[in-house]
Amino acid sequence: MTSTPQQPLLVFTDLDGSLLDHATYDYTPAMTWLERLREGAVPVIINTSKTAAEVMVLHQALGLDAPFIAENGASIHLPASWCLNETPDERGWADIVLGESYRRIRDVLEAIRATEGFQFRGFGDFSIDEVAEHTGLDIHDAELAHLREASEPLIWEDTEEALERFRLLLIGAGLSLTQGGRFYHVLGDNSGKGRAMAWLVDRYHLLKGQRPLTVGLGDGPNDIPMLESVDRAVLIRGEHDTPIRIVETVQLYTTTQKGPAGWSEGLDHWLG
Alpha-helix residue ranges (DSSP H) falling in 146-192: 160-172
Closest CA to 98 of 32, 230, 27, 197: 197
Question: Do 34 and 131 form a contact (C-beta atoms < 8 A)?
Answer: no
Residue 184 host element (H or E):
strand 184-188
Question: Do 106 and 134 form a contact (C-beta atoms < 8 A)?
Answer: no
Cβ neighbours of 245 (radius 10 Å): 7
**Which of 14, 21, 141, 223 is flagged as catalytic?**
14
Is 14 considered catalytic here? yes
Cβ neighbours of 73 (radius 10 Å): 31
Cβ neighbours of 107 (radius 10 Å): 13
Pairing of β 213-218 and β 151-156: unpaired
Pairing of β 184-188 and β 151-156: antiparallel
Alpha-helix residue ranges (DSSP H) falling in 183-227: 193-208, 224-227
Burial 150-189, CB ≥16 within 10 A → b, else e: bbbbbebeeeeebbeebbebbeebebbbbebbbbbbbbbe
Active-site residue list: 14
